[in-house]
Structure 1
Amino acid sequence: MGWPLAVSAALMDRTRGSLYRALLALAVGHLLAMVAVLFPFSVLLFLAEWQRAIQTGAAVLLIGLGTYLIFNRRHPRFLARVPPSRLALWSFLAAMAHGAGLMLVPIYLGICRTVETDAGHAAASDLMAGNVGIASLVAVVHTLAMTLSGGLFAVGVYHWLGLRFLTKSWFNLDLVWASSLVLVGVISLLVIH
């Protein structure tokens, strides 16, 4: 959801280049958040005897984060007006708070029980568990997909729809996102035990 900040950066600077620099900064922050979550888990994979505890911890972390986001609906004020020079930091903090990378942890740790029925999850699990380089590639591809989809929104609003579109059509998905984190965490706990 960083694309509105990219539009804001371009509107504040009144240059198209600011839009694209902002999108790049957002992508860097998001990628760093993914790396911060995925790499510690890749190091922990050799601790197979601790797998159940790690899975339980990851599920509890998801439930805790989702519950926190459900009851604390306000965003921190220091993140409300982000100058273009701090977008990578904002992207990192927002991605960490909203669970970027955490969505890949169930696959990475083998918690995802759809592996038997879903070839995509099975392939991702095999690749990520066997190679840190592939885990890195997954993080990069995810970041590119996030940047492309958010970038399309930002370019569309900045070039064609305008600021008035945002003020009249904004909707907030924070509660849906927080609830989905809790749901995934509860399902993971039920599957583990």
Structure 2
Amino acid sequence: MGWPLAVSAALMDRDRRSLVKALGALAGGHFLAMAAILFPFSALLFLVAWQREIQIGAACLVIALGVYLLINRRHPRFLARVPPSRLALWSFLAAMAHGAGLMLVPIYLGICRTTATDPGHAAASDLMAGTAATAALVAILHTGAMTLAGGALAWAVYAWLGLKAVSRSWFNLDIVWALSLILVGCVSLWFATTGGH
């Protein structure tokens, strides 16, 4: 979402390094948002007996956010009040407001198949360490993919296409984002309730 801000930073400073610095700040804020959502769920996974309910609740939460974003398409006003010098903060707040971290929760819970572990929870500390490591890996991979895709787009606009190309071909992905939240939530809900059968 923040790649236009990276382009803007490079154009205002007339320096390509500003684009890279802006992408770094955006990636840092985005990673913190992913971690802020995923790590609490990794702490919940010690409740192996409640894993199915946690998965169902997370899936319903993602679906609800998707429906809300589909109905209410206004962008949060507080995002416009964050100064451009605070790109990491803006990226963190934008990712939280749009549910980017929340969308990863059902995927993360599906990766952490804790019900296959010993029912006696003999290795609870190992389980917690493993789920925290998986949460960190999911956040890192997602942030890396987001930064590469946004960075490639920002670099193309800055180096070759220019701002006129953006203004002529701009398209709003809000509906696609809301529908993708609903889709991920529904798939996760199906897996949680049927076991994928």
TM-score normalised according to structure 1 size: 0.81
Identical-residue share of aligned pairs (%): 73
Q: Is the 8 A contact 1:66 1:182 kept in 2?
A: yes
1:73 partner SS? coil
Q: CA deviation at 1:173?
A: 1.2
- Matching residue's letter, 2:148: L
Residue 152 of structure 1 deviates from its aligned partner by: 1.1
Q: Report how far residue 112 of structure 1 moved.
A: 9.7
**Structure 1: gaps spanning 5 or more residues:** 114-126
Q: Please tell me whether residue 55 in structure 1 is matched to residue 55 in structure 2.
A: yes
What is the alpha-carbon distance in structure 1 between the residues aligned to residue 128 and residue 162 of structure 2? 41
Q: Provide the alpha-carbon RMSD of the alignment.
A: 2.5
Partners of 1:55 and 1:111 within 8 A in 2: no
Rounded to whole Å, the distance in 2 between the matches of 1:108 and 1:160 is 37
Residue 44 of structure 1 pairs with residue 10 of structure 2: no
Contact 1:32–1:92 at 8 Å: present in 2 too?
Answer: yes
Is the 8 Å Cα contact of residues 29 and 92 (structure 1) preserved in structure 2? Answer: yes
Aligned equivalents of 2:13, 2:142: Cα separation in 1: 29
Deviation at 1:79, TM superposition (A): 2.3
Aligned to 1:89: 89
Q: Is the 8 A contact 2:108 2:138 kept in 1?
A: no
Whole-Å Cα distance in 2 between the matches of residues 173 and 70 of structure 1? Answer: 11
TM-score of the aligned structures, taking structure 2 as reference length: 0.80
Residue 179 of structure 1, CA deviation? 1.2
C-alpha separation in 2, matches of 1:176 and 1:45 = 30
Task: Quote the Cα distance in structure 1 between the aligned partners of 2:111 and 2:29.
Answer: 27
The residue matched to 1:74 in structure 2 has which SS? coil
Q: Does structure 2 conserve the Cα–Cα contact (< 8 Å) formed by 1:10 and 1:17? A: yes
SS state at 1:92 partner: helix
